A and B are shown apart, each in its own frame.
Chain A
Amino acid sequence: MLLKTSLRSFFAHKGRMALSLIAVVLSVAFVSGTLVFSNTATSTFDKLFAATASDVAVQPPKPAEDEEQQAAVRPPTVPVAVAGQVASVPGVKQAVGQVMVQNATLVNPATNKLVGPTSGAPTMLGNWTETPRTPVTITSGHAPQGAGELVLDADTAKKAKLGLGDKVRVENSGGKHDFTIAGIATFTTTNPGAALGFLDTPTAQQVLLGEAAYTSVEAFGDGSRGNDQLKADTVAKVGGGYQVKTAAEQKEENTKQIGSGLDFMKYAMLGFAFVSAIVGGFLIINTFSMLVAQRTREIGLLRAIGGSRRQVNRSVLVEALILGVLGSTLGVAAGLGVAVGLIKLMNAIGMDLKAADLQIGPDVFVAGYALGIVVTLVAAWVPARRASRISPMAALRDHGTPAEAKANLVRTVVGLLLTAGGGALLVLGGQSEKAATGGQYLGLGVVLTLVGFVVLGPLLASAVVRVLGAVLPAVFGPSGKLAQRNAMRNPRRTGATAAALMIGLALVIASSVFSSSAVTSASAQIDKSVGVDYIVQGGRTEVTPEMLDIVRRTPGIDHVTTQKFFPAKLGLPDGQSAKNQLTAVPPAFFGSDFHPSLDSGTAASIEQGSLGIGAVFAKDHNLKVGDRVTVDYGRGRTQTLPVGAVFAKGELFGDGSFVAMDTMAQVVPAAEQPPVWTFFAKASAGTDVARTLTALQDGLKEYPQLVVKDQAGYKELVQSQINTLLYLIYGLVALSITVAVLGVVNTLALSVVERTREIGLLRAIGLSRRQLRRMIRLESVVIAVFGAVLGSGLGLAWGVTVQRVLRDQGLGTLSVPTVTIAVTLVSSVVIGLVAALVPAFRAGRMNVLSAIATD
């Protein structure tokens, strides 16, 4: 009986339910789509690794923590002899020495363009080996033989338009090495998007490692022993220093690596789901509130003839449950579409996932249905409770129109407390010394102010709409006055409708404050303290002396400045030690190239053998100019230096320490020094900076992996990097705004139905269709602008706090993007107009007589 009423009522309000349904479907689709996608990706890579991993791999010893940097430069190796030892372990059928490195670049010498992926997946070069489990087979040509031959994977060859006999160049720290493509290898499994190049073993060792060694030894068993047994025997044979891993362990490690690459996308998608679930929640609350309000008389009658509160409550919840189940079902189905879309996206960036192998596990259904049903039930709970409180007297009242809900005292107090608490946290966050603490205050403050604003929504609606609306009667006459009154007559509804929009717009404003501050700060920082004219970034491979020479020889270049990074440990006067990024720099660095602000000491002292440290590091460890610090460069190379300079907070290079190149070279031999990844160049006085840039780019054209920028170009690069992040956020926001617009449509549509008689009356006494439509449009605009005003306020508060929190992390200058804020407010007007299209049209078409006669 109960179910029947609920079902009937559900289908009687299809139109209204459809809007809520869309919100549920969207959020469930994002969650289930993400799950299907990551399940599919994981299973694909599982298969790949299962098919290619050796039974036991012997890898070089794990580098000590402070030597990671050096380890990344020269690939760690295992001696050739280990291969022999592993081969003699009982049960090993074959032990293959493998060379595989990622620190080289493939270049097409004919076009000077990079071969292989430019971002994301790596370019891997190694030796060609015949093993039982190789991921590729040679489909044309032959295996590499001798010093001049290379085998390239088919996908990369196709993309770079290279074929058998074409030239390809390998560039790494050892210089340039030209090869001819002797064979094309095709993946037998999924291509994870990497470029693969194979040389014969001696060439690979010489060119890629510079020594006769392997990067790992892969052992394949004869099946007589388990992998764990093989591993134990191998460890016994080669000694404990090496890392020995079974197939399962290798698979786990590789999956983790790939997984972390996919995590970003996963979190972005879950962010979408989260936002649409929250905004959708508001939509559902509103829908059910309105349905309950509309049915006040009906519910009163039900109560009058003996229906219990519980039954009334339950009938609303059952309706919500139907919505949740239906929405989740459609959402899971739509999620498959989302997953296929993501897979297509991955294909576009080179990862070869098959849409046909979609992995739809039970977790997809569990998560999808749980989200959809929980969100709907939670959102419908408030209106359901309200419904159960309707007194039987309601049946006897004249009209079914709901009493006008007023913001109550409890709500006001709770809302004010939350907002005030959140605001205080934001202020605290903005003032805190440490970014990490500030970030925690910020996060909590954001949540509290958001919830506070949502709770205060109805109260704010009365206040803000009154102010906003004061303009309307003056500008739009009677339609404006009526619209303003209508927007204020149910502040709770107006508040909830606007809240959905507020969230989206607050995110827009906050992230645009952040990005605009980041861009402004970066360029202010560059203008203030950067004296060099050009920056050359090396990408994945290190900068070679050859490249530096080319730059030095370019006409118009005064000098080149390099820097070398050490993950150093600094021994403090009190006997403790602390890790810090240490940069060794040549004399010109602080002479003419960079002009950082100093708290104390002089930059020149660094050139004279002192250490420069950051203000925060100095404060944390109670250091001042003149204190003696022991610098540990790793591998036992240490020296004790006086502190000669303390750099101001929030400088270009963060909180790192600086030492002169010459000082460092006293203890670290050249062979152990890390390579250069990025370097700078300064133009001679009076040179045309732009022309010299062209000359530099021309001189370095054989090194497509290098990115050469002048100051303006570098600022643009920073800006475009920040904008990439921003576009993702905007995508998120566009989604939430779409759902919010559905909410406004929903509210208006219901208001129009609720006010049918009023509309009839207005038309009878002479309100024209155009005036009527304008009235509804204006009400919609008022709601939207109200949401936008709240959203902008919140967003500004958040954005400014973010800037304050990160003021020492490169966000030193606050920049409020007034254009974006103006655009947001103006577009909220457009949003309002768009949302009102259908409701206004329908109201305009109402028949005056039947509208008046409506009960």
Chain B
Amino acid sequence: MTTATAAVYDPQLPGGASAVAASARQVTKAYGSGETKVTALDAVDVDIQRGRFTAIMGPSGSGKSTLMHCLAGLDTVSGGRIWIGDTEITGLKDKQLTRLRRDKIGFIFQAFNLLPTLNALENITLPMDIAGRKPDQAWLDQVVETVGLAGRLKHRPTQLSGGQQQRVAVARALAARPEIIFGDEPTGNLDSRAGAEVLTFLRRSVDELGQTMVMVTHDPVAAGYADRVLFLADGLIVDEMHAPTADSVLERMRRFDGKRTS
């Protein structure tokens, strides 16, 4: 599909194709116009490294979710360019975007990740089903093993706990071997134990399966599982942190609050 719909990767961009899974250049997103114009993203440049776990943090309204939605091809941008792998997605039609999401991107949402009419296994293989592809059985087994769902594959979502449901969602995202997985507060609805479980799986999928992962969160503990944290404020990337811990992230976030109140 890359030959038909993709733009050629711009070699002048930093990083090179092998190291970057997604990148944004001068991405702007604005709602409304004139007096009521709200800028959610203001000429953001970002590169997501392949095989790394990136967290995006920021206070409410900072544009962190918008950035993720734009990177994932769920939302359109007002200006700038975005690449997933070597495919430029800005300017793609709905049909092409849908195929891109189907074949190259995995999603984990905060809640309501699964179709209630399908059992766990059917939910996991759904993206491949939609694409009309056969899942790679060995890989599927490995993924199911990794997220620890082997005994529950025939269960319907209503028969699973919240943590189990999110693990199914993780498995679904992993099973199709996407270039990149986006998580939108994937642990936001879970208690701390179930949340820690899911985050551990995400971490393992990066370490053991070499998956690229981008996660939006407002929870410093969750961000502590990442390799790198991007901090957004008012539509701009204002800081980043490598090898974060929960405490260091919390500390950094406090400075936002302090700046805002002052």
Contacts and interface: CB of A to CB of B under 8 A. Distances in A.
Whether chain B is bound by chain A comes out as: yes
Interface of A: 398-399, 401, 404, 477-478, 481-482, 485-486, 488-489, 757-758, 761-769, 771, 848-849, 852
Contacts of B130: 478, 762, 765-768, 771
Which has the most chain B C-beta neighbours within 10 Å: A401, A489, A761, A766?
Answer: A766
Interface in B65-122: 69, 74-75, 94-95, 98-99, 101-103, 106-107, 109, 111-113, 115-118, 122
B112 A399 contact: yes
Contacts of A852: 109, 112
Contact of B98 (A404, A481, A763, A849): A763
Interface in B179-231: none
Given A478-B129, A478-B130, A482-B117, A765 B107 contact: yes
Nearest to A763: B98
A252 B223 CA distance: 94
Closest A-B pairs by Cβ, 5 of them: A766-B102, A485-B117, A478-B129, A766-B101, A768-B98
B95 A766 contact: no
A789 to B, nearest CB: 22
A486 B117 contact: yes
Given A766-B130, A849-B74, A849-B75, A761 B117 contact: no
Interface in B117-137: 117-118, 122, 126-127, 129-132
B177 interface: no
A768 B113 contact: no
A399 B116 CA distance: 12
B175 to A, nearest CB: 11
A765 B106 CA distance: 7
A340 B167 CA distance: 67
13 contacts: A477-B129, A482-B115, A482-B117, A486-B117, A758-B115, A761-B112, A761-B115, A764-B109, A765-B107, A765-B130, A766-B101, A766-B131, A768-B99
B214 to A, nearest CB: 15
A404 B106 CA distance: 29
Contact of A849 (B69, B95, B102): B69
Nearest to B94: A769
Contacts of B99: 766, 768
Q: Which of B98, B102, B106 has the most CB of A within 10 A?
A: B98
A762 B75 CA distance: 15
A489 B109 contact: no
Given A477-B132, A481-B129, A764 B115 contact: no
B109 A761 contact: yes
Nearest to A766: B102
Contacts of A763: 98
Contacts of B112: 399, 757-758, 761, 852
B172 interface: yes
A436 to B, nearest CB: 52
Nearest to A487: B117
Contacts of B118: 482, 485
B116 A489 contact: yes
A478 B101 CA distance: 16
Contacts, number: 70
B74 A766 contact: no
B98 A769 contact: yes
A769 B98 CA distance: 9
Contacts of B95: 768-769
B218 to A, nearest CB: 16
A767 B131 CA distance: 8
A485 to B, nearest CB: 3
B102 A765 contact: yes
Nearest to A757: B112
B126 A765 contact: yes
B211 to A, nearest CB: 16
Given A766-B98, A852-B109, 12 more contacts: A404-B116, A477-B129, A478-B126, A482-B118, A758-B112, A761-B109, A761-B115, A762-B130, A765-B130, A765-B172, A766-B103, A767-B130
A399 B112 CA distance: 9
A541 to B, nearest CB: 72
Contacts of B107: 764-765
A485 B119 CA distance: 11
A477 B129 CA distance: 8
A101 B120 CA distance: 85
A45 B69 CA distance: 76
Contact of A489 (B94, B103, B111, B117): B117
B129 A848 contact: no
A489 B126 CA distance: 18
A489 B158 CA distance: 13
A482 to B, nearest CB: 7
Contacts of A766: 98-99, 101-103, 127, 130-131
Contacts of B74: 764, 848-849
A761 B98 contact: no
Contacts of A398: 111
Contacts of A762: 115, 130
Contact of B127 (A488, A757, A765): A765
A769 B93 CA distance: 12
Question: A398, A478, A769 — which one has the most chain B CB atoms within 10 A of its CB?
Answer: A478
Nearest to A489: B117
Contact of A765 (B101, B116, B122): B101
Contacts of B69: 849
Nearest to B172: A765
